[in-house]
Amino acid sequence: MALTVDDFDFPLPPELIAQHPAAERSGSRMLHVCGQRLADRQFADLPALLAAGDLLVFNDTRVIKARFFGHKESGGQVEVLLERIVDAHHTIAQVRASKSPKPGTRLRLADAFEVVVTGRAGASGEFFALEAVDRNSLWELAERYGKLPLPPYIAHPADGADETRYQTVYAREPGAVAAPTAGLHFDEPMLATLRARGINTAFLTLHVGAGTYQPVRVDKIAEHKMHSERFEIPVATAEAVAATRNAILKNFGEPYLPSVPRHYTTKAKNAQEAHECIRPTDMALGPEKIRVEDDQRKLYDLIWKRTIASQRR
């Protein structure tokens, strides 16, 4: 049976949407799902659910100040949300305006600088291609004049506290316009606890794009086109994943590989129990999309090919 957007409707009262984070990053609640078993826990319980030798892979992308308010030459108001900065002078962005700006239209942003619309971009033309008029670096302009792009369900404008809390503590590579939200719960004491327990960590970079805020405009979920996002998997991370994979295969004594890692666990008694605790998932890597539960090895082959290719360039 084909799933439709109606299958995912559920009531969510606005008063239940937190507008500010918990006082401590690791002070949030956590739902532990293991097969059919559900348990309400605190995020601080996470280390107890892992074992020495397990691997956590973190996304070290850093959210840039990607939101701008401004106006067209005609005086009409615009809101611009950068999707990605292509280079120092070119960007792809969402543009909100009463009328879509045509190529050649100049937009003055933050009452500080101008960009010109050079065309449309994106698989369905949902984005605009923009070029900085005065040739100043868009990276510098974003940092100086941009606003942090909080999710649309957060009602207040971004403030100084948000600029700290809407970044992971390990954010290093600028380029995202939305935070990898699961990582926001990790703080330095939590990371220290994980290290003390012998739980390994590795990093990759996936820049979350503005497409993450795009609505589903079709009724049938299978017809929805997902946006693409840029990523980089270092050789060291691919090696860490492979080493953890090999340890699991050795412990289980059979060719089983759980879904690619939010984390791996070796605390399960056997492969079937591990399979129940770590649910299959879809993972999109560039133009290829792999159903992880169908063929686990393809994913690792792809990781290695992509990583080696990137090192040769």
The DSSP-derived string for 139-188 is HHHHHHH-B----TT--SPP-HHHHHHTS-TT--EEEESS--GGGGG--H
Residue 168 backbone dihedrals phi, psi, to 5 degrees: -75, 155
CA distance 85 to 280: 33
User: For residue range 196-209, what is the model confidence (pLDDT) as tens digits?
Assistant: 999 999 999 999 98
Class level of CATH domain 35-62+178-312: alpha beta
**pTM of the predicted model as reported, rounded to 2 decimal places:** 0.77
- Residues 129 and 158: beta-carbon distance below 8 Å: no
The predicted structure's pLDDT at residue 60:
97
pLDDT in tens, 152-193: 889 998 988 999 999 999 999 999 999 999 999 999 999 999
- What is the rounded CA–CA span in Å between residue 165 and residue 97? 30
- Per-position b or e across 229-246, b if 16+ CB within 10 A of its CB: beebbbeebbebbeebbe
Write down the pLDDT at residue 13. 93
Long-range pairs of 43-50 with CB within 8 A, sequence gap ≥ 24:
43/185, 43/190, 44/190, 46/190, 47/190, 47/193, 47/194, 47/197, 47/199, 49/265, 49/267, 50/194, 50/197, 50/199, 50/263, 50/265, 50/267
SS3 call for 59: strand
Parts of the chain belonging to CATH 3.40.1780: 35-62+178-312
- Domain spanning 67-145, CATH architecture: Beta Barrel (2.40)
Residue type, 166: Y
Instruction: Give the Cα separation of 246 and 257 in Å (integer).
Output: 9
Contacts of 29 (CB under 8 A, 6+ apart): 40, 41, 42, 43
How do residues 86-109 score in pLDDT, each as one tens digit? Answer: 999 999 999 999 999 999 999 999
Tell me where in the chain the CATH 2.40.10 domain(s) lie: 67-145
CA distances from 189 to 41, 139, 192, 216 (A): 18, 32, 5, 38
